[in-house]
Amino acid sequence: MKNRNNIRFSPIVSRETFSSILGFLAIALFSTIFSGCGEDTISEDISVFNKVLSTRYDIKAPEDLAKFYHDYLYDNPEAKLTYEMSPQTHNRVKIVMINQNPVDPNLHAEKIEMVAKYDETMWKIVVINRNWKCRSKGEPSEWGIEPCN
Protein backbone atom coordinates (compact mmCIF):
# COMPACT_ATOMS: atom_id res chain seq x y z
CA MET A 1 0.00 0.00 0.00
CA LYS A 2 1.27 3.45 -0.84
CA ASN A 3 1.82 6.25 1.60
CA ARG A 4 -1.57 7.73 2.66
CA ASN A 5 -0.18 11.28 2.70
CA ASN A 6 -0.04 11.19 -1.09
CA ILE A 7 -3.77 10.48 -1.55
CA ARG A 8 -5.63 13.40 -3.12
CA PHE A 9 -9.35 13.74 -3.71
CA SER A 10 -9.01 15.72 -6.87
CA PRO A 11 -5.98 17.07 -8.67
CA ILE A 12 -7.63 20.52 -8.72
CA VAL A 13 -8.86 20.72 -5.08
CA SER A 14 -6.47 20.84 -2.15
CA ARG A 15 -7.15 19.09 1.17
CA GLU A 16 -7.69 22.43 2.87
CA THR A 17 -10.38 23.42 0.37
CA PHE A 18 -12.09 20.06 0.78
CA SER A 19 -11.99 20.45 4.58
CA SER A 20 -13.51 23.92 4.33
CA ILE A 21 -16.33 22.64 2.11
CA LEU A 22 -17.05 19.76 4.50
CA GLY A 23 -17.07 22.13 7.47
CA PHE A 24 -19.47 24.48 5.70
CA LEU A 25 -21.81 21.60 4.81
CA ALA A 26 -21.76 20.33 8.41
CA ILE A 27 -22.64 23.80 9.76
CA ALA A 28 -25.42 24.18 7.19
CA LEU A 29 -26.85 20.77 8.12
CA PHE A 30 -26.84 21.50 11.87
CA SER A 31 -28.35 24.95 11.30
CA THR A 32 -31.18 23.42 9.29
CA ILE A 33 -31.84 20.75 11.90
CA PHE A 34 -31.89 23.09 14.89
CA SER A 35 -33.65 26.11 13.44
CA GLY A 36 -36.00 24.99 10.71
CA CYS A 37 -39.02 22.82 10.15
CA GLY A 38 -40.47 23.18 13.66
CA GLU A 39 -44.09 23.89 14.44
CA ASP A 40 -45.14 27.49 14.97
CA THR A 41 -46.48 28.09 18.46
CA ILE A 42 -47.82 30.96 20.53
CA SER A 43 -46.31 31.48 23.98
CA GLU A 44 -48.83 32.00 26.74
CA ASP A 45 -48.49 34.45 29.65
CA ILE A 46 -48.19 32.22 32.72
CA SER A 47 -47.75 34.79 35.49
CA VAL A 48 -51.45 34.92 36.50
CA PHE A 49 -51.84 31.14 36.33
CA ASN A 50 -48.71 30.60 38.46
CA LYS A 51 -50.22 32.85 41.16
CA VAL A 52 -53.35 30.67 41.19
CA LEU A 53 -51.22 27.53 41.13
CA SER A 54 -49.13 28.70 44.11
CA THR A 55 -52.14 28.15 46.37
CA ARG A 56 -52.84 24.62 45.13
CA TYR A 57 -50.98 21.95 47.11
CA ASP A 58 -53.38 19.18 46.12
CA ILE A 59 -52.06 18.76 42.56
CA LYS A 60 -49.50 15.96 42.55
CA ALA A 61 -49.45 14.34 39.08
CA PRO A 62 -48.52 16.08 35.82
CA GLU A 63 -51.82 14.95 34.24
CA ASP A 64 -53.72 16.67 37.06
CA LEU A 65 -51.74 19.85 36.46
CA ALA A 66 -52.54 19.80 32.74
CA LYS A 67 -56.23 19.09 33.40
CA PHE A 68 -56.36 21.91 35.97
CA TYR A 69 -54.79 24.31 33.45
CA HIS A 70 -57.28 23.29 30.78
CA ASP A 71 -60.27 23.65 33.12
CA TYR A 72 -58.97 27.04 34.35
CA LEU A 73 -58.72 28.30 30.75
CA TYR A 74 -61.80 26.72 29.16
CA ASP A 75 -65.30 25.75 30.18
CA ASN A 76 -65.39 22.58 28.10
CA PRO A 77 -66.57 19.48 29.96
CA GLU A 78 -66.75 17.60 26.64
CA ALA A 79 -63.03 17.96 25.93
CA LYS A 80 -61.27 14.83 24.69
CA LEU A 81 -57.84 15.23 26.24
CA THR A 82 -54.76 13.07 25.70
CA TYR A 83 -51.50 13.53 27.56
CA GLU A 84 -47.87 12.74 26.82
CA MET A 85 -45.27 13.22 29.54
CA SER A 86 -41.51 13.35 29.22
CA PRO A 87 -39.21 13.94 32.20
CA GLN A 88 -36.69 16.77 31.90
CA THR A 89 -33.78 17.81 34.09
CA HIS A 90 -34.05 19.69 37.43
CA ASN A 91 -37.41 18.17 38.54
CA ARG A 92 -39.11 19.39 35.38
CA VAL A 93 -41.53 17.57 33.14
CA LYS A 94 -42.73 18.37 29.64
CA ILE A 95 -46.46 17.81 29.24
CA VAL A 96 -48.09 17.72 25.83
CA MET A 97 -51.87 17.89 26.05
CA ILE A 98 -54.02 17.53 22.93
CA ASN A 99 -57.72 18.32 22.91
CA GLN A 100 -59.51 16.51 20.07
CA ASN A 101 -62.79 18.33 20.84
CA PRO A 102 -61.96 22.05 21.33
CA VAL A 103 -64.57 24.71 22.08
CA ASP A 104 -63.99 26.60 18.82
CA PRO A 105 -65.93 24.82 16.03
CA ASN A 106 -63.32 25.92 13.46
CA LEU A 107 -60.59 23.95 15.26
CA HIS A 108 -59.99 20.28 14.62
CA ALA A 109 -57.58 19.91 17.58
CA GLU A 110 -55.62 22.10 19.97
CA LYS A 111 -52.22 21.29 21.43
CA ILE A 112 -50.80 22.77 24.63
CA GLU A 113 -47.16 22.06 25.48
CA MET A 114 -46.00 23.01 28.92
CA VAL A 115 -42.81 22.62 30.90
CA ALA A 116 -43.50 22.54 34.62
CA LYS A 117 -41.36 22.20 37.72
CA TYR A 118 -42.38 20.35 40.89
CA ASP A 119 -40.66 21.18 44.19
CA GLU A 120 -42.21 18.32 46.25
CA THR A 121 -45.06 20.56 47.47
CA MET A 122 -46.36 22.53 44.48
CA TRP A 123 -46.04 23.03 40.72
CA LYS A 124 -44.76 26.03 38.82
CA ILE A 125 -45.20 26.45 35.08
CA VAL A 126 -41.99 27.41 33.31
CA VAL A 127 -43.35 27.84 29.78
CA ILE A 128 -46.53 27.13 27.84
CA ASN A 129 -46.84 27.07 24.07
CA ARG A 130 -50.03 26.48 22.10
CA ASN A 131 -50.99 25.70 18.53
CA TRP A 132 -53.86 24.03 16.67
CA LYS A 133 -55.16 22.29 13.58
CA CYS A 134 -57.95 23.92 11.62
CA ARG A 135 -60.98 22.09 10.24
CA SER A 136 -61.03 22.12 6.50
CA LYS A 137 -62.75 20.23 3.75
CA GLY A 138 -61.24 16.77 3.82
CA GLU A 139 -58.10 16.35 5.93
CA PRO A 140 -57.27 18.57 8.92
CA SER A 141 -54.50 21.11 8.47
CA GLU A 142 -51.01 20.84 9.95
CA TRP A 143 -50.19 22.19 13.43
CA GLY A 144 -49.84 25.96 13.25
CA ILE A 145 -51.02 29.34 14.51
CA GLU A 146 -52.89 30.69 11.50
CA PRO A 147 -56.48 31.81 12.18
CA CYS A 148 -59.10 29.22 11.25
CA ASN A 149 -62.02 30.27 9.04
117-130 tens-digit pLDDT: 999 899 999 999 99
Q: How far is CA 45 from CA 24, 62, 73, 83, in A?
A: 39, 19, 12, 21
User: What pLDDT, on a 0 to 100 scale, did the predictor assign at position 24?
Assistant: 66
Which residues, at least 6 apart from 104, have a Cβ–Cβ distance to it below 8 Å? 110, 148
Q: For position 36, what pLDDT does the model report?
A: 45
Question: Given pLDDT bands bounded at 50, 70 and 90, which one contains residue 55?
Answer: very high
**Structure-model confidence comparison of residues 139 and 52, the more confident one:** 52
* Cα(147)–Cα(129) distance, integer angstroms: 16
Average pLDDT on 74-86 reads 92
For the chain, the straight-line distance linking the first and the last C-alpha, in angstroms and rounded, comes to 70
